[in-house]
Amino acid sequence: YTGAGKPPMYGDYEAQRHWMEVTTNLPVREWYQNSTQNDLLYWGLDYPPLTAYHSWACGKIASYINGDWVSLNQSRGLESYEHKLFMRYTVLAADLLVFFPACMYTILFVLLLQAIVSTLTLLSPGLILIDHGHFQYNCVSLGLALLAIGLVEKERLLWAAVVFSLSLNYKQMSLYYAIPFFCFLFGTCLKRPSWASKLKLFLGLTGVVCATFAVCWAPYLHSPGLWLQVLRRLFPLDRGLFEDKVANLWCTLSLVVKLKSLYSAATLAAVSGLVTLLSASISAVDLLLRPTPERFHHCLINCSLVFFLCSYQVHEKTILLPMLYACSLSMRLYPKHMTCELSVIYSMFPLLCKDGLVTPYVALVVLNIVFVFKAYLETSQPSRLVTVLFALSMGGCTFLNAAHLLLPPPRRYPDVHSLLNAVYSCGHFVVFVSYTHYLQYQLPTTKYTKIKKK
């Protein structure tokens, strides 16, 4: 896992353990506050309250098993075998309690898709490697969002709003899906036959969203200083436009124009925000005016990928958000979308190399290719052109990965492999998001017919 045996900061594994330590030992109002007992420069909490409550629950279990695991300021860098086992179990428990049920419910029982789709989603290489290797709990926020999509399909809109609000309150990265959810729900309100029914649904949705946020943020709402501090932790401007060599437009553009040197963080945040909203509006406005489930699915992919490509402070792992749903939802219409999962995992290769995850990376990519081709055979025969393009694309990824592992970079350009990977992957994502925008605008205005399971 990331940071194993690498003091003084270690990595995300230590961050998750440290959050359990902080939330277990300090009052809830101090979780996001810098103090002598809570040094925010050492993995300070920077996710919403629901993540903090999850850390608290895991920390309580850890303290019951062995109090030394979460001893305040004494347990930093703990890497015992027993604690590693405990941490692994916490991720597996999150998978089993949230992500697996949400995936099975939405894909098999609501969307009525083939079992191979749920298999591909559950065995998503990117999610497995990031949650179990890089070490996080993305399965919780992604599972809640996937469950909310299923509830939208079942037309249980109030419950969908509640569940998606929980996803937002677990990880702020779920904002990638906020525009599609808002446009679909508000567009549905506007399509109601009478003004009374429009107002009833709108007030109902507004009420449940506000109530959900109020419950999650209750410990911080009585003082403006508290909730403002939480917001500052969730949306820090000082981290920069992007992290490392991420496969988005700003990192690619920085090869030609040194954006971070020329402009302030505030300017870059404003420009990236404007570009993101304008780009997302291409898909979102269509969904708002014609709120059908198919458009909703396409808009989820389009807007989340636009956010990854254009927004401020993007990390490599956030590509999981658009591509998970490209895998799990779009097979209903276009099976060839399934291959995009491979581009996602390739884009994170430098991060996975840094974490020492090359062996599981190769194993999961091979397994994913096998299931992708099985999915093809169960739905349609790929054309010769699609097969050739897929082979060329994956061949390029394989070559770049091999070069990264086998060829030392020139002294003058130590990051050349990571940059080539980022530019190559970014090109794939730009082509894909352009194609899915085109597909969205080709959709009929009526709802689709359910596809029977195989």
Query: What one-character-per-residue DSSP string does 356-415 give?
Result: T-HHHHHHHHHHHHHHHHHHHHHH-PPPHHHHHHHHHHHHHHHHHHHHHHHSPPPTT-TT
List the structure tokens of 45.
């909490």
**Radius of gyration of the chain from its Cα atoms, rounded to whole angstroms:** 22
Query: Residue 362 has what pLDDT?
Result: 92
235 contacts: CB under 8 Å, gap ≥ 6: 172, 313
Query: What angle do the packed helices 195-216 and 157-170 form, to 10 degrees?
Result: 30
Query: Residue 447 has what pLDDT?
Result: 58
State CA 449 to chain mean position distance: 29
Q: Is the peptide bond before 8 cis (omega within 30 degrees of 0)?
A: yes
Query: Residue 286 has what pLDDT?
Result: 96
Q: From the CB of residue 92, how many other CB atoms can be counted at a distance below 10 Å?
A: 14
Q: From the CB of residue 75, how many other CB atoms can be counted at a distance below 10 Å?
A: 20
DSSP 109: I
Residue 72 · residue 21 · CB < 8 Å? yes
CA–CA gap between residue 246 and residue 317 (Å, rounded): 9
Q: What phi and psi values does residue 189 have, to the nearest 5 degrees?
A: -60, -45
HSE, CB side, 13 Å, CA atoms: give it for residue 276. 26
Query: Residue 454 has what pLDDT?
Result: 43
Shortest CA distance to 267 belongs to which of 298, 300, 237, 229? Answer: 237
In angstroms, what CA-CA distances link 311 with 89, 138, 176, 239, 263? 33, 19, 9, 13, 16
- pTM for this entry: 0.92
Q: Which residue has the tokens 């449940």?
A: 208
Residue 130 · residue 317 · CB < 8 Å? yes
CA–CA gap between residue 329 and residue 404 (Å, rounded): 33
Residue 58 · residue 51 · CB < 8 Å? no
Exposure string (b/e) for 293-330, b if CB count within 10 Å is 16 or more?
A: bbbbbbbbbbbbbbbbbbbbbbbbbbbbbbbbbbbbbb
Q: From the CB of residue 156, how many other CB atoms can be counted at a distance below 10 Å?
A: 14
Burial of 131 (0-12, 13-18, 19+ CB in 10 A): buried
Burial of 214 (0-12, 13-18, 19+ CB in 10 A): exposed
∠ at Cα 282 (206, 447), nearest 5°?
65
320 contacts: CB under 8 Å, gap ≥ 6: 124, 126, 127, 130, 138, 142, 344
Query: Residue 338 has what pLDDT?
Result: 57
Instruction: Give the CA diameter of the chain.
Output: 69
Q: How far apart are the first and last CA of the chain?
A: 38
Question: Residues 70, 72, 77, 80: is their CA dihedral positive or negative?
Answer: negative
Shortest CA distance to 102 belongs to which of 128, 121, 123? Answer: 121
Query: Residue 3 has what pLDDT?
Result: 81
The tens place of each residue's pLDDT in the chain, 454 residues long, gives: 778 888 888 889 999 999 999 999 999 999 999 999 999 999 999 999 999 999 999 999 999 999 999 999 899 999 999 999 999 999 999 999 999 999 889 888 887 766 777 777 888 888 899 999 888 999 999 999 999 999 999 999 999 999 999 999 999 999 999 999 999 999 999 999 999 999 999 999 999 999 999 999 999 998 888 999 999 999 887 777 877 788 899 989 988 888 888 888 889 889 999 999 999 999 999 999 999 988 998 899 999 999 999 998 888 888 888 777 666 555 554 545 556 777 788 889 998 998 889 999 999 988 888 877 776 666 666 677 777 887 888 889 899 999 999 999 998 888 899 999 999 999 989 988 998 899 899 888 765 444 444 4
CA–CA gap between residue 371 and residue 150 (Å, rounded): 23
- Three-state DSSP class for residue 314: strand
